[in-house]
Structure 1
Amino acid sequence: MIHLALVSNKINEQFATALKPYGISKQQFNVLRILRGQKGKPSNLCTINERMVTKMSNTTRLVDKLITKGYVERSVCESNRRKVEILITEKGTTVLEKLDATMENTENDILGNFTNKELEEFNILLDKF
């Protein structure tokens, strides 16, 4: 278990290092990807939190930081004034497109020593958790 925790920390560090030049945390990156996956449809805080890789209680703060950076916008739903809608902006989509290549390169660096067969076996073992 200690080895698994050490490897997890190492992977998290590599992703954090890849994101650092963009001034985005792993959680903010996750929110942007969730919003991009909405394909132009707005989302809400509850949906974002449900889809987060790491469940957090501070999703509002993450969204606020992304709003400050101009990567997402928040608005009140016209049909239900109590509902807040969150949408990725063009600027957010652009930065995410740049990040796609960076994150793919980071994944390739992390997994470069594994064959496809080893990765499939590894996924099977991880699914047992």
Structure 2
Amino acid sequence: MQIDKEIQASKFEDDYHKVVINIAYTSGWLNNLLRYELEKYKLTGQQFNVLRILRGRFPQPATVNLIKERMVDKMSDASRIVDRLVQKGLVSRCTNNKDRRSVDIRISDAGLEVLSQMDNQFKTKDFIKSNLTEQEAATLSDLLDKLRG
């Protein structure tokens, strides 16, 4: 559905204004779809993001700073998110052997299992593949990269 019909707005200042509104609205729409799937596993989008970052590094650990750098939502409190994942048993925290001031974060077997279950249940591409071809998705991704400059 077109953005003007979706939000029931008939006037935008210009196409630049319209695209900003459209991107913000679409971001919320995608987040809601993802949130629905994540609730089944009692995870937030930020927790899911951290688990995927840690799985990508596995078996190597990560520091909180590295997690912050790689997170989709740069405003997230990575330390607090890691604390919650530790409480759930999905990640572990241990002192770095080379630098005692640094703490290593590693995904646990339980964390890997949860992600494996999620991988079997849904793929993020499932949210959009019925609306966009793979070529259109690539073009849109390139345009979004260009937008961020």
Could you state the TM-score of these two structures normalised by the residue count of structure 2? 0.80
Task: Structure 2 unaligned segments of length 5 or more: list them.
Answer: 1-19
Is it true that 1:116 corresponds to 2:127 in the alignment? no
Is it true that 1:9 corresponds to 2:35 in the alignment? no
Cα pair distance change 1:68/1:30, threshold 3 Å: same
Letter in 1 for 2:129: L
1:57 deviates by: 4.8
Which aligned pairs between 1:32-111 and structure 2 lie closer than 5 A?
Answer: 32-104=51-123, 106-111=124-129
1:72 deviates by: 0.4
Cα distance in 2, alignment partners of residues 124 and 38 from structure 1: 26
Aligned residue among 38, 45, 49 for 1:19: 38
Task: Structure 1 unaligned segments of length 5 or more: list them.
Answer: none
Higher RCO (CA-CA < 8 Å; seq separation 6+): 1
Identity percentage over the alignment? Answer: 41
Letter in 1 for 2:64: L
Could you state the TM-score of these two structures normalised by the residue count of structure 1? 0.91
**Aligned residue-pair number:** 128
Q: Which residue of 1 aligns with 2:143?
A: 125
Q: Secondary structure at the match of 1:111?
A: coil
Cα distance in 2, alignment partners of residues 79 and 30 from structure 1: 27
